[in-house]
Amino acid sequence: MKRQFARRIATALGAGLLMAGQAWAGSIIWTPPSACTSLNCDATVLHANVTTSSTNPGGSVEPFVLQVHSSPQYCLRLDVFNQSARMQVVIVAPDGTVWRNFGRSAADPRPLVVVPRGVQGWYTVQISLLGGSTPTPGVHYNADFAYGRYTSLSNPNCANPTPPLAAGAE
């Protein structure tokens, strides 16, 4: 009897330890808004993997896609600070407004999108290769980016908002 009880305790402890080590992930990311003022402070840093098919003609690029949350009282900042190839970022708001960026300047090709104020909800983000194709099929490309929401439009993280490419429904 004692042996069966000991086995049950050991099994329960083992299952508990396995569950404690599991990580959960999904396609929606929420980060709390911040009032900090250094660039990308308190942002959630993520890694994107953009892949290309080695069997489909032209490489068939599979973009990195996720949803991030924002609200009308905050700006949203998505900053690709490291990339292994020329990338572009496209963000679509819940109302259909679209922002796109494929470089800050000719000298700095890293994408940065700043949405000054939007609508409440989930914004679809796509990070892909600039132009959507690759001369080298079967390759993995990487991008590291920071996603942040900031509480004041006078915050340096909200400066120089990206003009929308297309306006959503009014």
Domain CATH number, residue 124: 2.60.120.380
What average pLDDT does range 57-77 have in this prediction? 89
What is the pLDDT at residue 138? 82
pTM listed for this prediction: 0.80
Whether residue 52 lies inside any domain: the answer is yes
Whether residue 2 lies inside any domain: the answer is no
Whether residue 129 lies inside any domain: the answer is yes
Print burial letters for 105-142: b (CB count within 10 Å at least 16), e (below 16): eeeebbbbbbbeebeeebbebbbbbeeeebeebebebe
Question: How many domains is the chain built from?
Answer: 1
Q: How many CB atoms lie within 10 A of CB 145?
A: 27
Residue-wise pLDDT tens digits, 108-145: 999 999 999 889 999 999 999 998 777 777 888 999 99
d(CA 160, CA 90): 17
Whether residue 5 lies inside any domain: the answer is no
| Tokens found for residue 117 | 């104020």
- Considering the chain, what is the average pLDDT of its residues? 84
Q: Over 80: is that where the pLDDT of 17 sits?
A: no
Question: What is the extent of the structural domain holding 55?
Answer: 26-158
